[in-house]
Amino acid sequence: MKAKELYQQGLDLGRRRLYKEAVEAFTQAINLNPDFVEAYIYRAYARTGTGDNHGGVKDFQTAMDIYRARGRSDIADQLLVPLNTLQNEIKDGQEDQGQLEVEDEPEGK
């Protein structure tokens, strides 16, 4: 299969909320074409659907790097919104976990 066909397959799987399978299709597309920026973007969204927020951050950052290398900082900057949203979700999740640990400690410590 060609990279574009795998990319299209990933989009179709993502629309059906089959995020794990979508990630696999986008990954195969990226393996065939490592500069396939759209595949990184949609794999980022699919990864968040599987709960892999850190992987999503990495993919958004890679897509931004590719756009900047192409002289398209304007497009890279547009990815800051979903990237920052995802980073904030990760940060909030870590803070929530930390708060739970404190609340669960026995009194007197």
For 43-48, the CB contacts below 8 A with 24+ separation are: 43/10, 44/82, 44/86, 45/14, 45/82, 46/10, 46/13, 46/14, 46/19, 46/22, 47/19, 47/23, 48/86
pLDDT of residue 9: 98
Question: Does residue 100 surpass a pLDDT of 50?
Answer: no
pLDDT classification of 89: cutoffs 50, 70, 90: very high
Among 22-26, 33-37, 76-80, 96-100, the range scoring the smallest mean pLDDT is: 96-100
pLDDT of residue 108: 43
Among 10-19, 42-51, 90-99, the range scoring the smallest mean pLDDT is: 90-99
Say which CATH topology domain 3-101 has: 1.25.40
pLDDT classification of 93: cutoffs 50, 70, 90: confident
